Amino acid sequence: MKEIRYKNIDRLINPSQIAFIGGADAEVAINEAKRRGFKGSIWPVNPKRDYIAGYKCYKSVLDLPKGPDAVFLAIPATQIIRTVNELNDVNAGGIVCYSAGFKEIGKRGISLEKQLVKSLKNMVLVGPNCYGVINYLENSALWPFAHGGFCPGFGLVVVAAVGSSIPVLIITAGAIFSPVVFRLSRALGMEIMVMDFVEAAKVRGEGYRWIIFKEIWPNAAMPLISDFGLRFIYVILFVSSLSFLGLGVQPPLADWGSMVRENLGALQYGESVIPILAPAIAIASLTVAINLIVDDVSAHAGGKLSGRL
């Protein structure tokens, strides 16, 4: 691969400008980029509209201030080749082609897709007939609808920098989620401290240790246990996501994320989907099981507390 293509891959993944070419689908993609928090320039291109999503439209790719780093294409397939040629003329970086009407429709589409690949030259392409790319670290999105993913914060950077051994994964997950747990614990403690039964314990002359373990902890335990159930699932998904990206548990060890990643090739060759579905079902089953256990513990403890009251 030529060096310029490597640079264009970086431009596509971490763009400073994104050109959205199309109509309604391009408007949805612009709104997703805004929702994601993209800080760069957004340039809609549509010859028939003056504004899209509050941004002034350019009539043509050739009217853009400069070659955009990334392009979201959502136009009829018959217009793609001409538009790609114009993007080459302005030195665009990479393209997400959301448009359909290529290999999936038969011989005519296969021929059009070959023309598309040939017309790219040094530009890079995701697609055609593809949703797109989201960069959670830099908050850029070329995506045609609202996506529920989230950025794992500095965890991905830490794992990529210092390795992905199991101790590193444990420490990183703990560092990511501990501030949230601390804030929740402190908020619960501050709320319980002003309750009447705590004030009564103070009046009786009870010490702080007795108040913490006999009054505050029993009343804070159930909310914290419920939160633990959610955080535990988040950690499982976090580690599985890292493994799917190749940054988590490394061979010969394995986890569910790496199992999905290693068996993706089975889909391309029409083989069994069980190696991919099984880890996904395991993650879903664990999620449901943990939440059922936490709910049962909470209900059991709540019944005991009601009985005492």
Confidence check: pLDDT of 95 > 90: yes
Confidence check: pLDDT of 173 > 90: no
pLDDT tens-digit series, residues 141-157: 998 887 766 665 555 56
Q: pLDDT band for position 305 (50/70/90)?
A: very low
How high is the pLDDT of residue 12?
93
pLDDT tens-digit series, residues 207-222: 888 888 888 888 887 7
86 with 61: CB under 8 angstroms?
Answer: yes
Q: Which alpha helices (H) appear in the chain, and where do they start and end? A: 3-13, 24-36, 80-89, 107-120, 155-162, 166-193, 196-203, 208-211, 217-244, 256-262, 265-268, 274-308
Q: Are strands 140-142 and 133-135 parallel, antiparallel or unpaired?
A: antiparallel
Mean pLDDT, residues 191-202: 83
How high is the pLDDT of residue 306?
42
Paired with 71 in beta bridges are 19, 95
DSSP state of 253: S
Peptide bond into 128 cis (omega under 30): yes
Residues above pLDDT 90, as percent of the chain = 33
The domain locations on the chain are 3-142, 155-177+221-308
How high is the pLDDT of residue 58?
96
Q: Residue 70, by phi and psi: left (phi above 0), alpha (psi -120 to 50) or beta?
A: beta
Separation of alpha carbons 301 and 277, rounded Å: 36
Q: 151: exposed, middle or buried (C-beta count within 10 Å: 0-12, 13-18, 19+)?
A: middle
Which residue has better confidence, 266 or 117?
Answer: 117
pLDDT tens-digit series, residues 116-128: 999 999 899 998 9
Q: pLDDT band for position 302 (50/70/90)?
A: low
- 3-142 CATH pick, 3.40.50.720, 3.90.45.10, 3.40.50.170, 3.20.20.30: 3.40.50.720
Mean pLDDT, residues 109-114: 92
pLDDT tens-digit series, residues 5-47: 889 999 999 999 999 999 999 999 999 999 888 999 999 999 9
